[in-house]
Structure formats: C-alpha cells, structure tokens
Amino acid sequence: MAEQPLQGKVALVAGATRGAGRQIAVQLGAAGATVYATGRSTRGKRSEMNRPETIEETAGLVTAAGGQGIAVAVDHLVPEQVGELVRRIDREQGKLDVLVNDVWGGDPLATWDKPVWEQSLEKGFRLLRLAVDTHIVTAHHAMPLLIRQPGGLVIEVGDGTTAYNEKNYRLSVFYDLAKSSVNRLAFAWSQELAPHGGTAVALTPGWLRSEMMLDVYGVTEENWRDATAKEPHFAISESPAYVGRAVAALAGDNDKARWNGKSVSSGELAQVYGFTDLDGSRPDAWRYLVEVQDPGKPADVTGYR
C-alpha cells in the first residue's frame, strides 16, 4: 500500500459532488483520510446544477483510493443541516482535522461581459449566497470542532489568487465579488484560527478540467488535448486531481502554519511540495495567464508545465 500520511485524519469537504471538490476528497482519501463528502446531488435527487455526478459516487471514489468516504446530503445554506452534519462528525469521529470550503454551484447563474444594470439581481444574489454564505455557515458550525486540538486546516477554494483578482476584473460583478470574497474569508479565518493553532489558506486551481468543462469542449479526460484545436490555451489546463493533491500536501505538512492567511495556486504549491498532475507535469496556469494568455501571445506552454 502506498504511504498514507493522513491515516487517522478526518476531513470535511463541503461541495464534493464534482470538479475540484470531488478530487480534493479523493486525494485526501488516497492519503488515508476519512472524508465526509457533502453536496446536494444524490442518487435520489439532483441539485439545480442538474448534473449527473453524486456525492455517493464521490464517497465511493474516496474509499477506492484508500480512505473512508462518507456521503452526506447537505444544503450548506441551511444552518440546521450543517449543524447536524458537524454533530454527526463529532459523534462518529470526535474531531475534525481538515475543512475544505468548496461549495460553489454558481456557474448556471453567471452572466458574463454585461454591466450590473443588464444583469438579473435575483440570479446574482443567488450566486453570492451559494459562493459566500455557504462558506460562512459551514465555518461557523465546523470550526469549534476543528479547534479542539491544534493543527487544524481550513482551505477556501476559489478562482484566482488574491494578487490576480486585485488587478483583473473577473467579467461579472457578482462573480468578481464572489471569488474575491472567498479569498478574503481565508484571510479572516487565518486571524481567528491562529490563536488556536489552526491554519487557513485560500487555494485556486488553474484552468480546471471539471466534468462540466470537459462537456463544454466535447472531450474526456483521456482526449482533452483535442480541445486545443478550438482553444489553444486549453493546453495549460489541469485535472481536478492536481488541486486535490495540493490540499493533501498542505494537510500532511507539519509546518503548514507557514501558509496561514496566504492565497496560493495548485501550480505554486506543486513547485514546493513536488506533486504532479495525472500526466506527471506541473502546470502553472496563473503564471501562464499573466505572462502568455492575457498579453495576447500565442499559446505555448513551454516552461509552464
């Protein structure tokens, strides 16, 4: 059996149905953790995302990877459901070592390249609730369990580092505010957790080959490079396992406190911890975005993966 540095650790991945959340749960499981995988899409009911992926599938993948996956249907906008989830973790495990706030679900609500007066307030505020309120509700209920012992880790998963988001408008006021807010939450948690020996980090994947993104380009994980014919910059994209391995590396770092309050990307952490994506490469998407894609240069990932 492969080394499992997180054997005996307990994690909650809020928003683990698909995409980054699913593979964060799986990679924590591969490292030996017990992972509570939550979301709204179950075998019996789909969320408003109307996607086929389920939390039961995620839990099964966690167990198959070498951990223990536990699926729990939770709407993280409902405090009572989140409170009961945390009480269950306490009853069954007596502790919580890692909290990953990955709840999103805002893609169908986003309107791109339109000023605020041409956007739906109803959809925009729903997007913000899904992206921000869910994270606060979950932190409120889970952190008292997390801080019972020092060494706890909170990961806020967003899109874009703080440095990038400060300088670049993210194409929609609601999306821009959501992603900036998630990073700021990590900074806030870092201040609140530090006296208890805890660490909070804002983490962003690069161009993520989520199930939805693969569908957009009509490819699979096996032939994803075919999509570069339509979008050459897709060559810098990364699998969700990459950010999952980033979380596992952070969780297994005895000196994780050095990252407290920082905003980092999967590509940055790969350079520090040495993990790779599934193909053995180390894509550094955000550096590529700044140095190649944003300036309008031709797609060339040489030196970036």
Residues 242-263 pLDDT 10s: 999 999 999 999 999 999 999 9
- The answer to whether 263 and 186 are in contact (CB under 8 A) is yes
Whether 301 is covered by a domain: the verdict is no
Nearest to 279 by CA among 226, 225, 215, 227: 225
For 146, phi and psi rounded to 5 degrees? -60, -35
Whether 189 is covered by a domain: the verdict is yes
User: What does the pLDDT read at residue 45?
Assistant: 85
> How many of the other CB atoms lie within 10 Å of CB of 166?
11
**How far is 259 from 288, CA to CA, in rounded Å?**
23
Q: Which domain holds residue 146?
A: 10-211+239-287
Whether 60 is covered by a domain: the verdict is yes
Whether 305 is covered by a domain: the verdict is no
Amino acid of residue 54: T
Whether 274 is covered by a domain: the verdict is yes
Q: Output the six-digit token pair for 97.
A: 């070592």
Half-sphere exposure of 201 (CA within 13 A, CB side): 28
pLDDT tens string 38-94:
999 888 888 877 888 899 999 999 999 999 999 999 999 999 999 999 999 999 999
pLDDT tens string 152-193:
999 999 999 999 999 999 999 999 999 999 999 999 999 999
Q: Provide mean pLDDT across the span 274-288.
A: 97
**How far is 214 from 209, CA to CA, in rounded Å?**
6
- With a cut of 80, say whether residue 29 has pLDDT above it: yes
User: What does the pLDDT read at residue 141?
Assistant: 98
Whether 220 is covered by a domain: the verdict is no
**How far is 293 from 35, CA to CA, in rounded Å?**
36
User: What does the pLDDT read at residue 2?
Assistant: 66
DSSP designation for 147: T
CATH number for the domain including 174? 3.40.50.720
- The answer to whether 178 and 106 are in contact (CB under 8 A) is yes
**How far is 150 from 9, CA to CA, in rounded Å?**
13
* Statement: the pTM of the whole predicted model exceeds 0.85: yes
Whether 251 is covered by a domain: the verdict is yes
**How far is 107 from 126, CA to CA, in rounded Å?**
11
Domain count, the chain: 1
Whether 293 is covered by a domain: the verdict is no
pLDDT tens string 90-136:
999 999 999 999 999 888 999 999 999 999 999 999 999 999 999 99
